[in-house]
Structures are given as C-alpha cells and as structure tokens.
Amino acid sequence: MATDQLPPPRDTVTERYGPRVHRAVHHGAFLLLAGALVFVGAMIVAQVGYGSSYSLKDNFISDLGAAHCGEFNASGSAGRYVCSPWNAVFDVGIIVMGLCAVFAVILLRTAFPVRRSRTVGLILLGLMGLGSIGVGFSPEDVNVTVHSICALCAFLGGALGLMVLGFAMFRDTRWGGFRTYTMVSGLVSFVALVLFLTGTYAGLGVGGMERLIVAPVLLWSVVVGVHLARIPTFAPRLLPKSSEP
C-alpha cells in the first residue's frame, strides 16, 4: 500500500487548508459528468436513427426510446406514429445516466457542508437517478403509467434537488458563484415542468418545453462535474494531538 494511502497514526489529527475535497468527490464528479454526456450522446444517436420525421419541437424525448413502431396513444393525448429503430441506445443511455447519478450523490456528499439541505438535495438528485432508470426500463409504449411516474420523479427530483442544493452551498468556499447558478438552474427546470404539465408550451412545442426541463440539469451536471474535478483533493497534514485532557 502506498504511504499516502495509509491512515494517519492514532496520535495525530489532520488540518485542512483552503477549498479541497476528498478523493471520493472526484469519482462522483466523473460519474456526474459521464452520466450527462452518455445520455446526451444516446439522444443524438437515437435521433439520427429515428430520421427526419423526428421533431425536436413536436416529439417527446421519450419517443426516442419507444420499443415498437406504430401509433402510440398516451393517456390524454392524441395518437401519434412513433418509430425509433435505435431505441435501445436511448434506453440504455438513460439507464446509465440514472445509475451514474445514484452513485454520484453518494460520493459527492462530502463536497457540501453537513446540513439538512445537503441531505434533502442529494436525496432528490438520487430520486432523479432512480426515475431515469425506471424510464429506461419502461418505454412509453410498453407501460405508459410506470413510464410517466418515473419521468415525473426524474423531472421533479432534478429541479427541486438543484434548488435545495443551492442552499447547501452557502458559506462554503468550494462553491462560490455556483450557488446562484445551481438555484437558477433548478428554478428554470421547475418552471418549465409546471408549464409542461399544464400544457403551456410558449411556442416551444411539447418537445421543446420538455427539453427545457432537462437541459438545465444536464448542463449543471457537466459544469459542476468539471468544477469539482478541478478542486484539489484533501491531502491531510498530520499534526500532533494536544496533550491537554
């Protein structure tokens, strides 16, 4: 075992200088970044396979993961023809993103001060990950009820999670200007979700509004993943323990 990996002796304590993170945070940052990039890549590939009939404005994101070709009639919506030959790419991509998110929130917990907002925010991001996994395993044309519930969990978990984590970042030198960025990203995603659920698409179409829910969270994952990966890891400095009782 390398010397720098050995636990400190019992008669020492550690001291920390400046904004640093534990090594586990770097692993979590990589998962956060990788999950977002894998999902974006999967969407692009699936859309290429779908062909020119796919519309970013008029098609749902989940149409890319439809398991069959044919007319699909979700509850409360008009029937539409969907056909995504590379649906497996999309479904695997969103499952991978969900798994990355779940493990990332476990590894990233020490990047935030110990407070209730950290716990709640990370749980919500974990819910986003679990919802994403459920979406991948339940395509819209296979089980629309489960698919819709999982999608709502993913949307709500991402939006609310960022808003709450913004509070967890206060008075921590590792975050700085990311506090406002995180809260605004969550707020934009949440407002877009409300508009989406009420059928108010503001000229963006159903697909455009759905992407406005997802995009801020994906972009945040990339930006914050890079940010955390750049922060030096915690290198303990061993100091003698006080001899006082």
85-108 confidence digits (pLDDT tens): 999 999 999 999 999 999 999 999
17: left (phi over 0), alpha (psi -120 to 50) or beta: beta
Looking at residue 80, what is its pLDDT? 78
pLDDT of residue 91: 96
- Residue 12 resides in a domain: no
Q: Give CA angle at 187 (65, 76), nearest 5°.
A: 45
Please give the pLDDT value at position 75.
Answer: 52
Residue 7 lies in a domain: no
Q: How confident is the model at residue 231 (pLDDT cuts 50, 70, 90)?
A: confident
**Alpha-carbon distance values, 212 to 159, 202, 231 (Å):** 11, 11, 29
Q: What 3-state class would DSSP assign to 66?
A: coil
Domain that holds residue 217: 21-230
DSSP state string for 41-79: HHHHHHHHHH-TT--TTTS-GGGGG-SS-EEE--TTS--
Question: For 131-169, what is each residue's pLDDT tens digit?
Answer: 999 999 999 988 889 999 999 999 999 999 999 999 988
Q: How confident is the model at residue 129 (pLDDT cuts 50, 70, 90)?
A: very high
Overall domain count for the chain: 1
| pLDDT tens digits, one per residue of 161-176 | 999 999 988 877 778 7
Residue 179 belongs to a domain? yes
d(CA 209, CA 200): 9
- pLDDT value of residue 219: 96
Q: Is residue 242 a part of any domain in this protein? A: no
Retrieve residue 104's tokens. 């990332």
Q: What is the DSSP letter of 161?
A: H
- Whether residue 143 contacts residue 159, with contact meaning beta carbons closer than 8 Å, is answered with no
In a domain, 9, yes or no: no
Q: Could you tell me if 170 and 115 are in contact, meaning their C-beta atoms sit under 8 angstroms apart?
A: no
pLDDT of 173: 76
Q: What is the pTM of this model?
A: 0.83
Residue 188 belongs to a domain: yes
- Domain assignment present for residue 6? The answer is no
Question: Has residue 171 been placed in a domain?
Answer: yes
Q: Is 199 exposed, middle or buried (0-12, 13-18, 19+ CB in 10 A)?
A: exposed
Q: Say if residues 207 and 54 touch (Cβ distance below 8 Å).
A: no
Burial class (CB in 10 A: 0-12, 13-18, 19+), 203: exposed
